[in-house]
Amino acid sequence: METLKFKTNIKCGGCIAAVTPHLNKLSAIEKWEVDTQNPDKILTVEVSQGIDTDQIIDTLEEAGYKAEKI
Protein backbone atom coordinates (compact mmCIF):
# COMPACT_ATOMS: atom_id res chain seq x y z
CA MET A 1 0.00 0.00 0.00
CA GLU A 2 1.16 3.49 -0.82
CA THR A 3 0.12 6.82 0.71
CA LEU A 4 -0.20 9.83 -1.59
CA LYS A 5 -0.77 13.42 -0.51
CA PHE A 6 -2.28 16.27 -2.49
CA LYS A 7 -2.82 19.98 -1.88
CA THR A 8 -6.46 20.69 -2.82
CA ASN A 9 -9.17 23.32 -2.81
CA ILE A 10 -11.61 21.05 -0.94
CA LYS A 11 -12.72 23.38 1.85
CA CYS A 12 -15.71 21.91 3.70
CA GLY A 13 -18.03 19.00 4.32
CA GLY A 14 -20.08 19.94 1.27
CA CYS A 15 -16.97 19.76 -0.90
CA ILE A 16 -16.10 16.37 0.59
CA ALA A 17 -19.62 15.14 -0.16
CA ALA A 18 -19.21 16.30 -3.77
CA VAL A 19 -15.93 14.42 -4.34
CA THR A 20 -16.91 11.26 -2.41
CA PRO A 21 -18.63 9.42 -5.29
CA HIS A 22 -15.80 10.31 -7.66
CA LEU A 23 -13.01 9.07 -5.37
CA ASN A 24 -14.98 6.02 -4.23
CA LYS A 25 -15.35 4.81 -7.84
CA LEU A 26 -11.56 4.34 -8.10
CA SER A 27 -11.08 0.74 -7.01
CA ALA A 28 -7.37 1.21 -6.29
CA ILE A 29 -8.17 3.64 -3.45
CA GLU A 30 -8.35 1.84 -0.13
CA LYS A 31 -9.01 4.90 2.04
CA TRP A 32 -8.93 8.68 1.70
CA GLU A 33 -9.48 11.75 3.84
CA VAL A 34 -9.17 15.51 3.59
CA ASP A 35 -7.68 17.63 6.37
CA THR A 36 -9.83 20.75 6.00
CA GLN A 37 -8.14 22.28 9.08
CA ASN A 38 -4.81 22.42 7.24
CA PRO A 39 -4.39 25.65 5.21
CA ASP A 40 -3.39 23.54 2.18
CA LYS A 41 -6.50 21.28 2.53
CA ILE A 42 -4.42 18.11 2.33
CA LEU A 43 -6.01 15.05 0.70
CA THR A 44 -4.37 11.84 1.92
CA VAL A 45 -5.06 8.77 -0.21
CA GLU A 46 -4.05 5.19 0.57
CA VAL A 47 -3.84 3.22 -2.65
CA SER A 48 -3.01 -0.27 -3.76
CA GLN A 49 -0.66 -0.56 -6.69
CA GLY A 50 -1.91 0.18 -10.17
CA ILE A 51 -2.97 3.82 -9.93
CA ASP A 52 -0.99 6.92 -10.76
CA THR A 53 -1.33 10.40 -9.33
CA ASP A 54 -2.68 11.82 -12.60
CA GLN A 55 -5.69 9.52 -12.36
CA ILE A 56 -6.55 10.91 -8.92
CA ILE A 57 -5.97 14.51 -10.04
CA ASP A 58 -8.14 13.97 -13.14
CA THR A 59 -10.91 12.44 -11.03
CA LEU A 60 -10.93 15.46 -8.72
CA GLU A 61 -11.01 17.79 -11.73
CA GLU A 62 -14.08 15.92 -13.02
CA ALA A 63 -15.73 16.75 -9.69
CA GLY A 64 -14.76 20.42 -10.07
CA TYR A 65 -11.78 20.54 -7.71
CA LYS A 66 -8.05 21.03 -8.09
CA ALA A 67 -5.28 18.90 -6.67
CA GLU A 68 -1.49 19.08 -6.75
CA LYS A 69 0.74 16.24 -5.57
CA ILE A 70 2.98 17.13 -2.66
> Would you call 6 exposed, middle or buried from its count of C-beta atoms within 10 A (0-12, 13-18, 19+)?
buried
Q: What are phi and psi of 18, to 5 degrees?
A: -70, -35
First-to-last C-alpha distance (Å) of the chain: 18
pTM: 0.89
| Amino acid identity at 31 | K
Higher pLDDT pick, 21 / 49: 21
Give the strands of the sheet with 2-8, arranged side by side.
29-35, 42-47, 2-8, 67-69
Q: What is the CATH number of the domain that holds 40?
A: 3.30.70.100
pLDDT tens figures, 5-42:
999 999 999 999 999 999 999 988 999 999 999 999 99
- Percentage of the chain modeled with pLDDT above 70: 100
Find the mean pLDDT for residues 32-55: 91
| Domains in the chain, number | 1
User: What residues make up the domain containing 24?
Assistant: 2-69
The answer to whether 25 and 63 have CB atoms below 8 angstroms apart is no
pLDDT tens figures, 25-35:
998 899 999 99
